[in-house]
Structure 1
Amino acid sequence: MDRRSDMPKERSPENGGDTQVTSEPPSGTPGQAAGGRRLALDVHGRLRDMILSGDLPPGSALLQAEMARKLGVSRTPMREAFRLLQEEGLIDAQPDQRARVRAADPEDLDGVYGARIMLETLAVSMTAKSLTAEDLEGMAEALKRMQELAGNDQLDEWHAAHKEFHRVATQAVGPQLQRMIASLSEHAERYIRLAQLGVPSSWARAHTDHEALLEALRLNDPEEAARVIARHLARTALNVLADLAPEYEPAATRTALGIAGNGHS
């Protein structure tokens, strides 16, 4: 009789040095794979927060072994976390080279916001006539929460409420497009934080934009909702670019804004 499943399992020093009794399934099972994925996502989230908060500033060298020791995990979830951070554009990691936190890139910002304008105007237009009273109430609650948190040190909570507000506003599109929008939104978070730090007035301006979007959705007005979201996204991009690289010409952002029928910011 195989009694391995009845025996407690210990984490080795490689996995963080802790002794922890678990009931993990045998190696190679779907449950173990899911657990490994959750751990990698947790590590990714912790590193991502460190980058976005400035605890790991641009140019910082990242060694997988060192970060694994610091966070108390093995190299396997750390490799996956590095891969996810690279996909998000937060780190540069080449084979046989030390990974580094990537500096804010005006071309990257311009491309991300050009794409966001195109996709979110489409999604908001499709969502405008399908929202229920409950949906609108949820958006209003998220907006109230954002206003309460604006400008204080609870940025993570503000961004959680902000994501929920935008998620509901774009929810009518299919799952693949939702994933694309969510990915671009995650990628844009560092630029939103730069706007909040570099342009103090951006808090009030963003709140006004969000109020206008909610009102357009309440009125079932897809054209106005699309105009509001396009101008809102473009304003964030242009404000950050004015501070980050004033000489850069944001062709993607301005072209997307023109296509969305908004002229110029």
Structure 2
Amino acid sequence: MKVRVLGCSGSIARDSRTTAFFIDDHILVDAGTGVGDLSVEEMAGITHVFLTHSHLDHIAALPLLLDTVGTQRCAPLQVFALAQTLKALREHIFNDVIWPDFTRIPRPEAPLVQLHPLGVGDVLAVSGITLEALPASHSVPAVGYALRGAGAWWVFSGDTEGGVAAFWQRVNALHAQAPGVGALVMETAFSNREQALARKSGHLTPAALAQELAQLSDPAGFPVYISHLKPSEGAAIMREVRQLEQGRGLQIIDLQSIELLQL
């Protein structure tokens, strides 16, 4: 399975694009501003989008993607997310005020996009990829995802403040079964000095990340990639995250340095 990192920043700035992962050239996990780096042909090849939650940095490119290639497609784009996330899309994006309602255009029976609810624990198979929705705790309803093709699992926490034991139970269970987990992507949006803001907004700091990673049954079993760094604090966050490696056997990598993962 090929995971192309289109964006993994917590906000925008030069060379900073918000969350979007391009899986095997036809699946998007989140649709942040990084989608804008795809060619028209690549956008037209996307068949499924899986959203972690409704915040703008994770959905910003979805309406624009439909505007770019919607009429070039031979079938509606299939978008999956929690029911609450889909409700937010209908009410606040595809509402004929912020953006045309492409769930009814050009015709209700043949729209450019179809929205499908999923729940935590749901498992779907899409063109050789197995996808499972994982629990997350954020300021709005949210999920993470685990995806696997022919190789190991790629696990993405989504935006989360942590404290979800079921997430780690599932990660450990996936890793216990061959071929295990090949990569874990964890958000860490704020430095430790912004702990109060991180808690209020439902994000992790390096100190909170340490508590989360302590629940791994095999800390050295696979690399942990850090995502969602705020551009103004990225260097400070990674300095604090690096301290977690000491004596723990962890392999921690700044996801912004990675363009492609092959699992």
Normalised-by-shorter TM-score class:
under 0.3
TM value normalised by structure 1: 0.25
Which of the pair has more CA radius of gyration? 1
Higher strand proportion, which one?
2
Higher helix proportion, which one?
1
TM value normalised by structure 2: 0.25
